């Protein structure tokens, strides 16, 4: 076994962890040996996923937080440190999108996306980063998107937020390298989840996606998990400020 990929007894905070890619990454990190903090806005859903992980033999802690609110983020970090004593890994995954023509987007819709995807991601990284600086160790994995690299006219605010995530990652990587904190991005393409399954499998949408994906298939949640384990583990210790794009070749065009 490649022991550098093992996460035995590491403490990993995963935001947006009750559904889709976040849930899959939480399960993957738990499978590699990490103790998992499940974070979303819904305590009942957090409890359910934490219970699933515990049934599989993992140590898990459920905590509901509103990552658009700095006070809530501070309370989350304090609760995790109080419970486990440290934070080794942050998977900064929580995010939303609004699909709408840019000329029709409202201020409320713009703020809804930016407040969680960019502002929330930054302040979550900041508050966890303060703990990691004390430890002089940490792994931060920000979840970006192919739309941090390419545009889409109907999800402008989402594209802006994910482009910002990539630049935020580079900047934090430079700021915190001296503290032995690695900061990297996973940028998924179109990944099929329970939430989007119906939409992306509609005939016209599916045909468009497959035509633009050189590997000629949609991604699955399991396609993201290996990269998350890699970036959380000692195997990536000499890597920081980088983006791993997992998109079937979409941005290679």
With contact defined as beta carbons under 8 Å apart, do 31 and 233 qualify?
no
| Whether 158 is catalytic | yes
**Out of 63, 158, 190, 238, which one is annotated catalytic?**
158
Phi, then psi, of 185 in degrees rounded to 5: -120, 140
Element (H, E) at 58: none
Phi, then psi, of 126 in degrees rounded to 5: -60, -50
Our measurement of the distance from residue 79's CA atom to the centroid of its chain's CA atoms, rounded to an integer in Å, reads: 20
Our measurement of the distance from residue 35's CA atom to the centroid of its chain's CA atoms, rounded to an integer in Å, reads: 17
Beta strand spans in the chain (E): 11-15, 35-40, 60-64, 89-92, 138-143, 181-188, 191-192, 219-220, 243-246
Q: How many residues make up the chain in this entry?
A: 253
With contact defined as beta carbons under 8 Å apart, do 25 and 37 qualify?
no
With contact defined as beta carbons under 8 Å apart, do 141 and 230 qualify?
no
CA distance 33 to 7: 5
CA distance 173 to 100: 33
Active site residues: 158
């Amino acid at each position: 076994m490649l022991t550098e990929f093992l996460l035995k007894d590491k403490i990993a905070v995963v935001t947006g962890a009750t559904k889709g890619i976040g849930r899959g990454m939480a399960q993957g990190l738990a499978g590699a040996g990490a103790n998992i903090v499940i974070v979303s806005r819904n305590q009942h859903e957090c409890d359910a996923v934490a219970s699933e992980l515990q049934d599989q033999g993992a140590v898990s802690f459920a905590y509901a937080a509103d990552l658009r609110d700095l006070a809530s983020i501070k309370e989350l970090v304090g609760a995790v440190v109080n419970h486990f004593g440290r934070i080794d890994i942050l998977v900064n995954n929580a995010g939303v999108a609004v699909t709408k023509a840019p000329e029709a987007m409202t201020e409320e819709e713009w703020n809804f996306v930016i407040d969680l995807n960019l502002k929330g991601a930054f302040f979550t990284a900041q508050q966890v980063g303060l703990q990691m600086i004390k430890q002089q160790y940490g792994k931060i994995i920000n979840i970006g998107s192919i739309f941090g690299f390419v545009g889409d006219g109907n999800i402008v605010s989402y594209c802006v937020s994910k482009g910002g995530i990539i630049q935020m990652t580079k900047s934090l990587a430079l700021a915190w390298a001296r503290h032995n904190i690695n900061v990297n991005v996973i940028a998924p393409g179109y990944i099929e989840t329970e939430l989007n399954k119906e939409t992306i499998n509609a005939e016209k949408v599916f045909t468009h996606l497959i035509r633009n994906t050189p590997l000629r298939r949609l991604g699955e949640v399991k396609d993201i998990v290996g990269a998350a384990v890699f970036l959380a583990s000692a195997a990536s210790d000499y890597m920081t400020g980088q983006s791993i794009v997992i998109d079937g070749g979409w941005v290679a065009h």
